[in-house]
Structure 1
Amino acid sequence: MLSVTIQKRLPDFLLDVSFSTGQEIVVLFGPSGSGKTTILNCIAGLVHPDEGEIVLNGRTFYRQGQKPLPVQKRNVGYLFQEYALFPHMTVGQNIRYGLKTGNALHLEPLLSTVGIVHLLEKYPHQLSGGQKQRVALVRALATEPDLLLLDEPLSALDADTRRQCQDELLRLHDMWRIPFLLVTHDREEAERLGDTILLLENGNLVDGDKPKSHTTTSSS
């Protein structure tokens, strides 16, 4: 269970949100500049709220008046919009970065699910946008996080690749069964991926709904 209560003063408004989720996909949906990425960064520990509390599975990440839990102790996966792959490392090295020795048995089903086994010896500059997204997703899950944060990870992809990657996200969520918190400003994507959609405007949650059941299509 993830429980989030955040108040943080931003240049144009006060970010003031409160929500909780279990093992589901929660979509933060809204226009650019509404505070979505700041929420992810607060959960990850990259920035800290001014007030509030963030708790995951009974572990306190942040509570006003206490020292925040360091980023490296939160066990949170983060998939950035730019993917942030190391250019001097192969795909295999990127994925295994940060893994403890002998802790890679779970990688095979991940690699098979997203279809990148044949890319392990290639470098990021040799990959398409969709391939980079898949590598970054596997790397984020390779450390077996308790929570996965995704900041508009599909926004740079063409329509067909984007839909294939949406299908893969849904399949990986079914495998992993941890909370996924995904930021998007695409309504169709929000409805397709989200178990719950939280609409954010100027730092406030103004609506929330549960879209219809997920449907996936086979990837080509």
Structure 2
Amino acid sequence: MKKQLQHFTIQLQFESKDDILILFGPSGSGKTTVLNCIAGLDVPDDGLIKFNEQTFFEKNRGVMPIQKRKLGYLFQDFALFPHMTVEKNITYAMKSQSLVDHLVQVIGIEHLLKKYPRQISGGEKQRVALARALSTEPQLLLLDEPFSSLDQFTKNVCYEELKRLHQLWKIPIIMVTHDYEEAKILGNRILYMKYGKLQEMEYLNQ
């Protein structure tokens, strides 16, 4: 994909399968914009974004609507609806009540269902946001620095939770971070980005 930003041009090419792929680099290197282009929140200037047999974007052929892309997106600030209970946040876009019940049990948030986001901790919000992202039965999960605001103990708990869910669900995950230790803990591959360009790739044994 190629996209002109204010100070540089994002121009990179990569592919991913059912692993956890990390987009790593300093703040301002274009990582979140790449996620947004995959999600349909931003539109590239040129290139091809394809998932399985679906074309998300191809120049001169149009853009697939966001709601048809079958992906989950976990934002840095979790983006929970403050006026909704945890339960309503999760079921807002659900595909199946049985799936939601399963997610709530697997992620361990049964005790939070009647609470509001302001009443729960950062780590609990992260788990709720993850459950909501998975409740749509996504075929691809995008994570934008979802652990950056958490303390180290809570981060470690969430790392294990994400790895366990990835093994359970077997869907590809593309995650943005500028924390190298986090990238090493979670990633199967790390793509190093700087000013919109791919610098190198590191393969990790997980």
TM normalised by structure 2 equals 0.98
CA contact (8 A) 1:192 1:211 kept: no
- Supply the distance in 1 between the matched residues of 2:43 and 2:200 (Cα, whole angstroms): 25
Q: CA deviation at 1:167?
A: 0.5
Can you list the C-alpha shifts for 1:126-150, whole angstroms capped at 9, x where unaligned?
A: 0100000000000000000010000
Q: Runs of 4+ in structure 1 displaced over 4 angstroms?
A: none
Residue number in structure 1 paired with 2:99: 106
Q: Which residue of structure 1 lines up, in the alignment, with residue 3 of structure 2?
A: 8
Does 2:23 correspond to 1:28? yes
Matches within 5 A, 1:59-138: 59-100=54-95, 103-138=96-131
Q: C-alpha displacement at 1:199, in angstroms?
A: 0.4
Counterpart in the other structure of 1:190: 183
Helix, strand or coil at the partner of 2:33? helix
Structure 1: give runs of 5+ residues left out of the alignment: 1-5, 214-220
Q: Which amino acid aligns with 1:161?
A: T
Identity of aligned residues (%): 53
Q: CA RMSD in A?
A: 0.8
Q: Deviations over 1:53-110 (max 9, x none)?
A: 000111000001011001111111000001010111100000000124xx12122332
Who is 1:203 aligned against? 196
Contact 1:113 1:168 in 2 (8 A): no
| TM-score with structure 1 setting the length | 0.92
SS in 1 for 2:64: coil
Any idea what the Cα deviations from partners look like across 1:3-36, whole Å, max 9, x if unmatched?
xxx1000111110010001111000000000000
Matches within 5 A, 1:143-154: 143-154=136-147
How many residue pairs match? The answer is 206
Amino acid in structure 2 at the alignment position of 1:202: Y
Unpaired runs of at least 5, structure 2:
none
Q: Which residue number in structure 2 is paired with residue 140 of structure 1? A: 133
